[in-house]
């Protein structure tokens, strides 16, 4: 396999690197020539990701890490800098969730989701900043969601964590501006994706959980994240449904409460009953290498026109300017 060389020699850290979106992010950075520090709990998936990076010609360091433990995150960062070199880019991607009505959730499970999905990003950012600030260089990417702005039923712990990340992001960016820092802090807001989480997320639902609404392949988001690493910006929305959710919540939040209350339960379940022996990964990783995709390939989009437009603004603006000019010329000729 050949790489494009855009990140040749750069050191990238990806949390949640063993499966799902994290695995797709690892592949995309490796394809671009990066060396990758791989953080996750699942050893089999980490080894699979490490092999893929090496197939692209990069160096990879797989470190079993629970991002809910700040000591483990800090130790991993130290090992990566010692063995791969200074960290250039840190992507906070690790997450877990619990599906079910809030009234049925165990408080311990809610805490666990918060510690991994929210505090995991806080701890990762802190370890990255500890090394980037003295160099006054580096990029940190927080992986958000449309659910960072608009909560949905049956995922109160996850939505709360993503909302928390958004507030943390705003606060830290202000502090970096105050310090005149050259470090780029970015956030990417994602849509529903065909990732492995639906295969082993803890669920109180009677049927198998599924992504809600339009589903995208994880590579769509991975390419967007790598684009932000190349061209840092404050935020990038991925997928038109993400734009809809964020704008809709800004203008009609009350109507969305009622609408999601009606469709949000059935919309997050398939017609297939849940396997009663099904295991989840809330507290312990499952054995095996699950790759990047879940079981919804047939329904998932592998391209987003909205993302293409958002990441090719010069082309879009040029086309619009050309169109406006042409319309102006035609109008002038008609009335002359």
Tens place of pLDDT for every residue, the chain, 336 residues?
444 578 999 999 999 999 999 999 999 999 999 999 999 999 999 999 999 999 999 999 999 999 999 999 999 999 999 999 999 999 999 999 999 999 999 999 999 999 999 999 999 999 999 999 999 999 999 999 999 999 999 999 999 999 999 999 999 999 999 999 999 999 999 999 999 999 999 999 999 999 999 999 999 999 999 999 999 999 999 999 999 999 999 999 999 999 999 999 999 999 999 998 999 999 999 999 999 999 999 999 999 999 999 998 776 566 666 656 556 666 666 666
In a domain, 36, yes or no: yes
The number of folded domains in the chain is 1
In a domain, 1, yes or no: no
Q: In Å, what is the CA distance from 267 to each residue of 28, 100, 257, 273?
A: 30, 13, 14, 14
Domain with residue 104: its CATH number is: 3.40.50.720
Q: What is the pLDDT of residue 4?
A: 59
- Expressed as residue numbers, the domain containing 156 is 11-303
In a domain, 314, yes or no: no
In a domain, 122, yes or no: yes
Q: What is the pLDDT of residue 205?
A: 97
Check if 149 is active-site. Answer: no
In 3D space, the residue among 167, 166, 172 whose CA is nearest the CA of residue 188 turns out to be 166
- Looking at residue 56, the DSSP 8-state letter turns out to be T
Q: What is the pLDDT of residue 323?
A: 57
**Catalytic, out of 158, 216, 237, 290:** 158
Six-digit token string for 214: 């339009």
Q: What is the pLDDT of residue 327?
A: 65
Distance CA 4, CA 58 (A): 12
In a domain, 310, yes or no: no
In a domain, 319, yes or no: no
Q: In Å, what is the CA distance from 275 to each residue of 139, 178, 206?
A: 42, 52, 9
> Which of left, alpha, beta for 216 (phi over 0: left; psi -120 to 50: alpha)?
beta
Distance CA 145, CA 149 (A): 8
């Amino acid at each position: 396999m050949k790489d494009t060389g855009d990140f040749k020699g750069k050191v990238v850290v990806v949390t949640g690197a063993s499966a799902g979106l994290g695995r797709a992010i690892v592949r995309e950075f490796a394809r671009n020539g990066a060396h990758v520090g791989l953080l996750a709990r699942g050893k089999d998936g980490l080894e699979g990701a490490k092999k893929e990076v090496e197939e692209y010609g990069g160096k990879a360091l797989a470190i079993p890490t629970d991002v809910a433990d700040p000591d483990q995150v800090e130790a991993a960062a130290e090992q990566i800098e010692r063995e791969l070199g200074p960290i250039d880019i840190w992507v906070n991607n690790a997450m877990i969730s619990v599906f079910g009505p809030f009234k049925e959730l165990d408080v311990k499970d809610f805490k666990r989701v918060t510690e991994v999905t929210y505090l995991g990003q806080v701890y990762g950012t802190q370890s990255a900043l500890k090394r980037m600030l003295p160099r006054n260089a580096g990029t940190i990417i927080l992986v958000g969601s449309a659910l960072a702005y608009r909560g949905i039923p049956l995922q109160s712990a996850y939505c709360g964590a993503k909302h928390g990340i958004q507030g943390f992001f705003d606060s830290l960016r202000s502090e970096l501006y105050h310090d005149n820092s050259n470090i780029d802090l970015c956030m990417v807001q994602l849509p529903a994706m065909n990732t492995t989480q639906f295969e082993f997320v803890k669920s109180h639902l009677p049927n198998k959980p599924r992504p809600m609404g339009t589903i995208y392949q994880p590579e769509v988001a991975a390419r967007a994240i790598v684009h932000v690493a190349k061209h840092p910006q404050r935020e990038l929305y991925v997928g038109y449904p993400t734009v809809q959710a964020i704008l809709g919540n800004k203008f009609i939040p009350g109507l969305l409460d009622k609408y999601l209350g009606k469709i949000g339960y059935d919309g997050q379940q398939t017609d297939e009953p849940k396997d009663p022996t099904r295991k989840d990964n809330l507290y312990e990783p499952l054995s095996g290498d699950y790759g990047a995709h879940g079981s919804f390939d047939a329904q998932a989009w592998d391209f987003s026109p909205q993302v293409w437009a958002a990441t090719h603004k010069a082309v879009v603006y040029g086309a619009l300017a050309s169109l406006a000019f042409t319309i102006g010329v035609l109008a002038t000729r008609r009335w002359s």
